[in-house]
Amino acid sequence: MGEHRVRVTQDSGSRWRRRAGEYETLAEALAAAEPGDTVTVRPGVFRENVLLDKAVTVLPAEGPGTVRIDPPSGVGLTVTAAATVRDLVIESYDSSAPAVRITGPGADAQLTGCRVDTHAAVGVEVADRAAPVLTGCTVSNPSGLGLRLRGHAQARFTDCEVSAAGQAGLAVLEGARAELDRCRLHHAAGAGVLLTDPGSLAELTGCEIYEIRGSGVQAEAKAVGRLTDCEVHRVTGNGLTLDTEAALELRDCRLHDLPENAADLRGRAVLTLERSSVRAFGRGALSVWDPGTSVTATGCEIEDSTGDYPAIWVSDGARITLTDCALHDLPDALFVLDRDSQATVTDTSFSRIRSSAVSVSSGATVALERCRVQQAGTGLWFRDHGSGGLLTDCEIAEVATGVIVTKGADPVLRSCVVRASAEAAVYVSAQGRGSFEDCRAVQGKGFGFHVIDGCRTVLTRCRAEQNARAGFEIAEPGPLVEACTSDDVAPAPAPAAEAVPPQRTAQLTAGTAPLVAPPQIAPIPDCRPAEETLAELDALIGLATVKQEVRTLIDLISVGRRRRQAGLKAPSLRRHLVFTGSPGTGKTTVARLYGEILAALGVLQRGHLVEVARVDLVGEHIGSTAIRTQAAFDQARGGVLFIDEAYTLAPEDGARDFGREAIDTLVKLMEDHRDEVVVIVAGYTAEMERFLAANPGLSSRFSRTITFPDYTDAELLEIARTQCQEQEYQLADPTAAALLAHFATLQRGPTFGNGRTARQVFETMVERHAMRVAQLPDASTEELQLLVPADLPLPG
């Protein structure tokens, strides 16, 4: 190995100089060197285990990268003293040992410009109270850990890089402490930084952690991390993972492009964020779980969720505190749920939220002070019993619904303003409560304060201004209203008592003007006799089984009324129906006639038909669906609510679909107002079975299912004949035969239109007839009426 000779030279201030002191191995040279000596190493590969146990300096004679240490096994470089190493390359392929080990209380070593390129258990290990400083070093170890500190060691890393690691990039264990300044850790298969065990600490300044197949920073078991001006991005796991009483502090940091959570906390962990940003995350920005776990964020920004998950989850007794933060461009901004979770939010803004800005449920509470919510689906939703909180001096603007209170929730709002709500500023239903003091509903497109179902809400000194539908829409018995005013509806004289349904009367304190004019019941139209309407039903083409089902139901209702008049018990009948069958089979027509018949029998007040579909019931935001469904139901009072394609409210993959909310609302309304509205739901047979299974109480609300069969070819021909008669056309016998044959060729798939198809065929024949007759110079009356086989639609 003559080409690998080592030369030892004394420092310029030494008392002696070895003449031509050259050694063939590093071990010989280091054995001969004295503390303070400089060992210059000629270029080459040294296949030996190097031990630095003296305060010497080792450097390559001809510059960085020219000297490589590559032993056959074991540790490549061991440092146990205050040695200095510069610009060496250390390679090692022992999977049971580190490539570089710095160990012992006297190992205050300095490594500068070194490159550790290895497949070992650890790239660089610092252990047993060693305190080295590494500057400008790089570590690549695809087989194991990049850097590991343990045994109360301390190390400082400046301008260093871990470019690949088969496990964590940096692991700080057993009470060790690491300080990293302007370092990069990337392409690790474990966490970027792993902190564990009591007393372990890592302080990172100006560092970047990216391309990690795990968490960016993982802290557990009472370890502590402090990050300043750092960036964590493009990791496959959480940006930050904290567990078992670990603590992280981030200042002026940036977390982004994270497919999972930006931060996930459990087990009494604590996270503190200051002037930091979180964006482009796939699940949550902050997911906080378990009693004692907490997050405090000050001056932070959370934006641009790439998934459909709430941005902030706080659960199971955890706490979160937000101060002077901004949350925007999110599906959900803040979600507080489950067993005593708490959120305190001050001087924070929420904007461009696709769903609810703040949703509180299951006994959780939230305190908001001087906050602003703008451009959201729902401002705040207090969902169920035990959930609530205190809102003070908050503003909610440009939302579908400002505040929703349901199912026993009981928040307190003081001096809050809701502006430009699309559906309601405040909506309380389903035994929700709530106390609103000195609150305002301004310039809404719907109601200002909308309280239904007898909810015991308290409204004190509230004001509604310039709301399109009404300032106050409240039900009795229910709200306690004191000193509230509205400029939306002028005071109206009290109508006769019988004209005002009790459940729609506002409760006002003495000396207070009425908040809303009581709705007037429309006069009952002159109903046709039931026999006349039944005759129209019988005149419909086909539908023999449908007609029989409807007649049977009408007979049961009619005889039931007569039995009651005779003092006999009458069977309890649910008049709600399910219509199944293909499109165009007459379901809407039969529903209209059914309502008229019930009105003629005195079962319904008016018998009118209100036809709706999913788009009329389901809103785009949390809370708006219940309001739309309630509005449609109110419109149908005294008549029939006909929901076409009702199965679309319960899609097969509908875990996050608002259609379920429409179903739940509908079930409750059908129970609470069972004698006021008849509900008919319609759709394909198989899909309607899924719809009825969407809510446990749904199927029991409907008395029977009526199946509408497809029309036969002959019945389609009769529908076409009827169209001809109504429009003063005539079918020649050959045309009728050709038309029957045409109907026989049509595909009867799921999209077949039945009667609608027959009408479309007739319209096509009229168009082709017009094109043909227009060419005749002097068409006769017969020619203007007669449809011939040539007028049929072309095949295909």
Q: Domains of the chain by range and CATH?
A: 1-167 (2.160.20.10), 530-707 (3.40.50.300), 715-791 (1.10.8.60)
Distance CA 408, CA 412 (A): 13
Asked if pLDDT for residue 603 goes beyond 90, the answer is no
Asked if pLDDT for residue 63 goes beyond 60, the answer is yes
Strand 6-9, strand 22-23: pairing: antiparallel
Helix axes 624-635, 659-672, angle to 10 degrees: 40
| Position 57, amino acid | T
Give the DSSP letter of residue 161. E
Q: Look at the block and give the residue holding tokens 């039944």.
A: 534
Give me 393's structure tokens. Answer: 């001096």
* Nearest Cα residue to 515 out of 572, 542, 475, 477: 475
Average pLDDT over the chain, rounded to whole? 87
Distance CA 426, CA 419 (A): 11
The full DSSP string for 274-325 is: ES-EEEEESS-SEEE-STT-EEEEES-EEE--SSSSBSEEEETT-EEEEES-
What pLDDT score was predicted for residue 11?
44
3-class DSSP state for residue 13?
Answer: coil
* Nearest Cα residue to 116 out of 96, 143, 151, 149: 143
Mean pLDDT over 766-775 rounds to: 88
What pLDDT score was predicted for residue 474?
86
Distance CA 523, CA 644 (A): 27
Above pLDDT 70, what percent of the chain? 90
Q: What is the pLDDT of residues 184-237, one digit of tens each?
A: 999 999 999 999 999 999 999 999 999 999 999 999 999 999 999 999 999 999
What letters, b where the CB count within 10 A reaches 16 and e where it falls short, cover 111-138?
bbbbbbbbbbbbbbbbbbbbbbbbbbbb
Contact 255, 230 (CB under 8 A): no
Assign 573 a pLDDT band (cuts: 50, 70, 90).
low
| Position 200, amino acid | S
* HEC per residue, 488-536: CCCCCCCCCHHHCCHHHCCCCCCCCCCCCCCCCCCCCCCCCCHHHHHHH
Assign 507 a pLDDT band (cuts: 50, 70, 90).
very low
The two most distant CA atoms of the chain are separated, in Å, by 134
What pLDDT score was predicted for residue 467?
94
Distance CA 549, CA 707 (A): 9
Contacts for 653 with CB less than 8 Å, ≥ 6 apart: none
With 0-12 CB in 10 A as exposed, 13-18 as middle and 19+ as buried, what is 554? buried
Give me 542's structure tokens. Answer: 């086909």
Mean pLDDT over 393-400 rounds to: 95
Asked if pLDDT for residue 2 goes beyond 60, the answer is no
What pLDDT score was predicted for residue 4?
37
Mean pLDDT over 509-518 rounds to: 35
With 0-12 CB in 10 A as exposed, 13-18 as middle and 19+ as buried, what is 749? exposed
Asked if pLDDT for residue 460 goes beyond 70, the answer is yes
Distance CA 81, CA 102 (A): 8
Say which residue, 346 or 455, is predicted with more confidence: 346
| Position 25, amino acid | T
Segment holding 767, helix H or strand E: helix 755-773
Beta strand residue intervals within 652-796, DSSP E: 678-683, 704-708, 730-731, 786-787
Distance CA 240, CA 270 (A): 11
Sign, CA dihedral 300-301-306-308, equals: positive
∠ at Cα 51 (46, 57), nearest 5°? Answer: 85
* Nearest Cα residue to 427 out of 585, 107, 411, 415: 411
Contact 577, 680 (CB under 8 A): yes
Contact 719, 758 (CB under 8 A): yes
Q: Name the most confidently modeled range: 181-185, 535-539, 782-786, 791-795.
A: 181-185
What pLDDT score was predicted for residue 6?
54
Asked if pLDDT for residue 761 goes beyond 70, the answer is yes
Q: Look at the block and give the residue holding tokens 């199946």.
A: 707
What pLDDT score was predicted for residue 490?
37
Contact 316, 292 (CB under 8 A): no
What pLDDT score was predicted for residue 496?
34
Distance CA 286, CA 263 (A): 5
* Nearest Cα residue to 757 out of 718, 726, 716, 727: 716
What pLDDT score was predicted for residue 88?
97
Alpha helix (H) ranges present in 415-463?
A: none
* Nearest Cα residue to 238 out of 194, 290, 179, 180: 194
Q: How many residues does the chain have?
A: 796
Alpha helix (H) ranges present in 441-485?
A: none
* Nearest Cα residue to 339 out of 290, 392, 275: 290
Helix axes 713-727, 755-773, angle to 10 degrees: 50
Distance between start and end Cα atoms, the chain: 90
Mean pLDDT over 428-451 rounds to: 93
CA–CA distances in Å: residue 64 to residues 67, 76, 776: 8, 18, 100
Give me 129's structure tokens. Answer: 């109270």
∠ at Cα 311 (309, 312), nearest 5°? Answer: 120
Strand 6-9, strand 38-41: pairing: antiparallel
* Nearest Cα residue to 470 out of 431, 497, 502, 444: 444
Cis peptide before 477 (omega within 30 of 0): yes
What pLDDT score was predicted for residue 654?
54
| Position 678, amino acid | V
Contact 383, 361 (CB under 8 A): yes
Say which residue, 438 or 755, is predicted with more confidence: 438
CA–CA distances in Å: residue 600 to residues 94, 262, 303, 537, 560: 93, 63, 59, 14, 15
Assign 753 a pLDDT band (cuts: 50, 70, 90).
confident
Give the DSSP letter of residue 795. P
Asked if pLDDT for residue 12 goes beyond 50, the answer is no
Q: Name the most confidently modeled range: 382-396, 639-653, 718-732.
A: 382-396
Distance CA 6, CA 26 (A): 6
Give me 210's structure tokens. Answer: 């990216």
Asked if pLDDT for residue 98 goes beyond 80, the answer is yes
What pLDDT score was predicted for residue 159?
98
∠ at Cα 433 (431, 437), nearest 5°? Answer: 155
Assign 623 a pLDDT band (cuts: 50, 70, 90).
low
Q: What is the pLDDT of residues 72-90, one digit of tens each?
A: 999 999 999 999 999 999 9
Asked if pLDDT for residue 696 goes beyond 80, the answer is no
* Nearest Cα residue to 342 out of 323, 369, 360: 360
Assign 7 a pLDDT band (cuts: 50, 70, 90).
low
Contacts for 418 with CB less than 8 Å, ≥ 6 apart: 379, 395, 396, 397, 399, 402, 403, 425, 426, 439, 440, 441, 442, 444
Distance CA 763, CA 767 (A): 6
